[in-house]
A and B are shown apart, each in its own frame.
Chain A
């Protein structure tokens, strides 16, 4: 059974550009959530999608957005990139009932220069 797949794994962007990261959840999982990991702030929750609806959102500016498709695949977008957006972005999936085990992908490394 395939795990959570994130693409691209590594990318470098310039300040002011936008980026789209993709996540394919484990088959059968309906919940996809995103986390940002930085050395200074640690792991922070961005948002969670369940059945194409955003179910929860973290404390991030509106430049961070996401969506989920009918096949549960999800994308997150960051517009007008800032240097501080450089981070490891982790996608996670689960069946979506509270308390289910959440499985993580290998992450997308974003560097903003």
Chain B
């Protein structure tokens, strides 16, 4: 079974600075997808960024980028120019191919606080 580990339960960063959230995963599959979701106090899960394992190029979305190390099974999220609105829980998630089923396996999350 796949597992996802986020080793930083809480992190804080000053506004405008850069922060990196860590995520490691365990799988025997070769093709899969990885995601970072953000959950603000409203509790709605919002997709931040998506990475396809067969693509070597790291995904980027504006201020958000990932460092995907497939051999190390590592998938960290870098947030540049942090904004107060980035304060939220961040979840790393894995999706494998199980008969076509779309099942996300989530890590425990990292609570990020952006300080003014």
> Which of A19-27, A63-71, A78-86, A103-111 is the contact stretch?
A103-111
Smallest Cβ-Cβ distance to B1: which chain A residue: A59
Do the beta carbons of A107 and B105 come within 8 Å of each other? Answer: no
Smallest Cβ-Cβ distance to A96: which chain B residue: B102
Interface residues of A: mostly helix, strand, loop or mixed?
strand
The answer to the question of A61 belonging to the interface, with a C-beta cut-off of 8 Å to chain B, is no
Chain A residues near B108 (CB-CB < 8 A): 42
Which residue in B45, B95, B97 is a CB contact (below 8 Å) of A104?
B45
Do the beta carbons of A42 and B103 come within 8 Å of each other? Answer: no
Do the beta carbons of B44 and A102 come within 8 Å of each other? Answer: no
Do the beta carbons of A45 and B33 come within 8 Å of each other? Answer: no
Contact with B along A22-62 (1 / 0, CB 8 A): 00000000010101010000110100101000011010000
The answer to the question of B90 belonging to the interface, with a C-beta cut-off of 8 Å to chain A, is no
Do the beta carbons of A90 and B45 come within 8 Å of each other? Answer: yes
Report the Cα distance A98→B35, complex, angstroms: 13
Do the beta carbons of B103 and A101 come within 8 Å of each other? Answer: no
* Given known A-B contacts A45-B105, A48-B103, A101 and B98 have beta carbons under 8 A apart: no
The answer to the question of B78 belonging to the interface, with a C-beta cut-off of 8 Å to chain A, is no
Instruction: Report the contact-size class of chain B (Cβ under 8 Å from the partner).
Output: 20 to 34
Do the beta carbons of A55 and B44 come within 8 Å of each other? Answer: no
Smallest Cβ-Cβ distance to B105: which chain A residue: A45
Report the Cα distance A92→B66, complex, angstroms: 23
Chain A residues near B47 (CB-CB < 8 A): 101-103
Do the beta carbons of B100 and A102 come within 8 Å of each other? Answer: no
* Given known A-B contacts A98-B97, A99-B33, A33 and B103 have beta carbons under 8 A apart: yes
Smallest Cβ-Cβ distance to A93: which chain B residue: B102
Interface contacts beyond A42-B109, A94-B102, A100-B102: sample of 5 additional A-B pairs, CB < 8 Å, sorted by A: A33-B102, A55-B100, A56-B102, A92-B104, A105-B44
- Selected A-B contacts with CB under 8 Å, 13 pairs: A33-B102, A33-B104, A37-B43, A45-B103, A55-B99, A55-B101, A98-B97, A99-B33, A101-B50, A102-B104, A106-B43, A106-B44, A107-B43
